[in-house]
Structure 1
Amino acid sequence: MCTEWQSWRTGEAGHELGHEAVGIVVDAAQSTRLKVGDRVIAMPHWGCGKCQACRSGEHIHCTEQRDLLAETGSSCGLGGYAQYLLKPDYLLYPVPDDISTDHAAMALCALGPSFTAIERMQVSAADTVLVSGCGAVGLGAIVNARTIGARVIALELNPYRIELARALGAERVLDPLAPNLVDQIRALTSGYGVDAAIETSNNEAAPPVVLELVRPRGRLSFVTWSGALPVNRITGKGLDIFGSWHWNHDRLGTQMMQRVRDARPLLDLLATHRFALDEVSEAFALQETGRCGKVLLYPNGGQS
């Protein structure tokens, strides 16, 4: 489960909920890549598979998304909160036998966006990484950074998520509203600032604050859709800026599967709650409180 609870909170109707899923192929149609019984990660969206973005594995950025309902004549099948899901085979990544279904599910929005951010920023064990916001994506960023040995400082207000961030390996979790936040970060980084930062909070006010916590010639990634940056500060600090929506399963699938293997103990902490599909309303209510990490939803009522 990802951000669908926000529509639930505002009362918006939706019959195609869910954009991240792991499942078993029950009908392979004419696919030559997959067969019935294969466990697969279903990547978000429905890229055309033909454009330059899709040919380079960046299906998430395809501007000509396929209309699968029109193609198949089905009235449903696009949402992951369901027993069955329609997907082009090139958007399905086989799950290795040694990785559990629950752990494979973490390769989607839990790890995926920040995996790309860390890869594009070339973060290493020598870096100090700031994670802004400790929702499920931010907590996944902590897991990604700690699994490769980087030092992590996080920003969060929710007490439950502060404790979970610490359990996942954040060295310090600071109040993002603290008036002396810049001074606190400088004190923790020899007066210089963090090497890299990942903004996940989706708070309109966060981007310019996070920018000031990064050292000169540092790196800043956004896994978010809100806020703005002052161009003069980007240029003045010489920062590299990245937008990271999801991960490239064609190019980086092997590396992601190894990240999942390496992170398994932390992933068990990150997935804090599990619900059956008919308990989805209770799951949404829990997510609204913020007292959870990643939440897993099981369409057949039981756990994997």
Structure 2
Amino acid sequence: MKALVISDIGKAEFTSVEPARPGPGDVVLKVRTVGLCGSDLNTFRGLNPLAKLPRIPGHEIGGTIVETGADVPADFAPGRSAIVVPYTSCGKCASCRKRRTNACQFNATLGVQRDGGMSERLVVPHEKLILNDRLPARHLSLVEPLSVGFHAVARGSVAAGDTVVVLGGGMIGVGAMLGAIQRGARVIAVEVSEAKRQLLLDFGVAAVVNPLRVDQLEAVRELTGGDGADVAIEAVGLPETFVAAVDMAGFAGRVVFVGYAKKDVSFNTSLFNLKELDMFGSRNATRADFGAVIGFVEANPAISDKLISRVFPWDEAEGSFEFWEANRNETLKVMVEFPDE
């Protein structure tokens, strides 16, 4: 069986792996599409501390069931399409005991802490699949990354009438923008890529602030009548964007951190108290987030198509990471598509 492996920093190549065999409770998926995530790109660049090389990347996976093991419910029949929930949960840590399994202390995400979906077949426990025969294959792989943004919106309790500032116009940030807009919020995007400006406006964003061209804090103040954001969502992962999210949040506002900075962050902590901010971390996504995104993608196929910047056929997948690295400012989602049999 053929798989794509990141074998060394800056090197992705095809390799042969053992054929997929299901155990009790497992299904075998024929992988149809895999979206590349920023974590995959960072693994390729040698900047992902959670991934050890060599690693088969990929956790944004859509596929078709081709085989089932013992004790798999009849609903998970060969021929059915499915979305993979790529996280694990131990069931014993504090997060799991609180039923927040998306934040399991010992989570191992496909393609990050363990080999992922960039292979012709993938064995998955049936309970980690969401069956969906309505979405096209490419849209199946959009659900997981959008769900992470939708989860951040849920963490921030975004409501109709809120003004939400989202820092970062990558796929996670765009997911937060779309999730906030769907809830009736007014969204301001903070994004350095001018190539993405019109696309974000087409998605329904009210304004796009480029911090390389204007004073971003002053621009947000002007766009909010001096109040600042009701909710600020950080989806970049740099120390300066962490600080900016706190600065942009208004008094009695909420701040949600989705990215994580690789260096220490220095805050003016008086703003935490003076503004009486509610501050939240946001990790992965829940089944409820997946369900909300599936409804959104099904209802908005044209927007879903626009999220996909480039599709590589499976036999050209070795070049997908180099393409994304060279075209980061213009790229939302790079996807690998496997041939039909």
| Distance across 2 between alignment mates of 1:210 and 1:52 | 28
Structure 2 residue matching 1:141: 3-state secondary structure = helix
CA distance 1:47–1:26, shift in 2 (3 Å): farther
Alignment of 1:185-196 (within 5 A): 185-196=220-231
Alignment of 1:159-238 (within 5 A): 159-177=194-212, 180-226=215-261, 228=265, 229-238=267-276
| Distance across 2 between alignment mates of 1:115 and 1:54 | 20
| Distance across 1 between alignment mates of 2:213 and 2:206 | 18
Question: Are the counterparts in 2 of residues 135 and 161 from structure 1 also a CA contact under 8 Å?
Answer: no
Question: Aligned letter for 1:256?
Answer: V
TM-score when normalising by structure 1: 0.85
CA distance 1:66–1:209, shift in 2 (3 Å): closer
CA deviation map 1:199-257 (0-9, x unaligned): 111122111112111111111111111163443322221111121122111x4544332
Q: What is the match of residue 280 of structure 2?
A: 242
Q: What is the match of residue 63 of structure 1?
A: 105
Name the count of aligned residue pairs.
Answer: 291
| Distance across 1 between alignment mates of 2:191 and 2:250 | 20
Question: Are the counterparts in 2 of residues 21 and 42 from structure 1 also a CA contact under 8 Å?
Answer: yes
Question: Aligned letter for 2:235?
Answer: T
| Distance across 2 between alignment mates of 1:170 and 1:66 | 34
Q: What is the match of residue 295 of structure 1?
A: 334
Q: What is the match of residue 124 of structure 2?
A: 87
Question: Aligned letter for 1:287?
Answer: W
Q: What is the match of residue 296 of structure 2?
A: 259
Question: Aligned letter for 1:244?
Answer: S
| Distance across 2 between alignment mates of 1:55 and 1:116 | 19
Question: Aligned letter for 2:277?
Answer: L
Structure 2 residue matching 1:205: 3-state secondary structure = helix
1:34 correspondence with 2:76: yes
| Distance across 2 between alignment mates of 1:222 and 1:272 | 26
Structure 1 residue matching 2:83: 3-state secondary structure = strand
Structure 2 residue matching 1:25: 3-state secondary structure = strand
TM-score when normalising by structure 2: 0.76
Unaligned runs of 5+ in 1: 69-76
- Let me know the Cα RMSD of the aligned residues: 2.7
Structure 1 residue matching 2:116: 3-state secondary structure = coil
Structure 2 residue matching 1:85: 3-state secondary structure = strand
How many angstroms does 1:275 deviate by? Answer: 0.8
CA distance 1:20–1:54, shift in 2 (3 Å): farther
Q: What is the match of residue 74 of structure 1?
A: none
How many angstroms does 1:57 deviate by? Answer: 5.9
| Distance across 2 between alignment mates of 1:86 and 1:245 | 24
| Distance across 2 between alignment mates of 1:65 and 1:137 | 19
Question: Aligned letter for 1:236?
Answer: L
**Percent identity of the aligned residues?**
28
Q: What is the match of residue 20 of structure 1?
A: 60
How many angstroms does 1:20 deviate by? Answer: 1.9
| Distance across 2 between alignment mates of 1:66 and 1:130 | 30
Q: What is the match of residue 103 of structure 1?
A: 139
| Distance across 1 between alignment mates of 2:91 and 2:315 | 34
Q: What is the match of residue 78 of structure 1?
A: 115
CA distance 1:266–1:67, shift in 2 (3 Å): closer
| Distance across 2 between alignment mates of 1:42 and 1:49 | 19
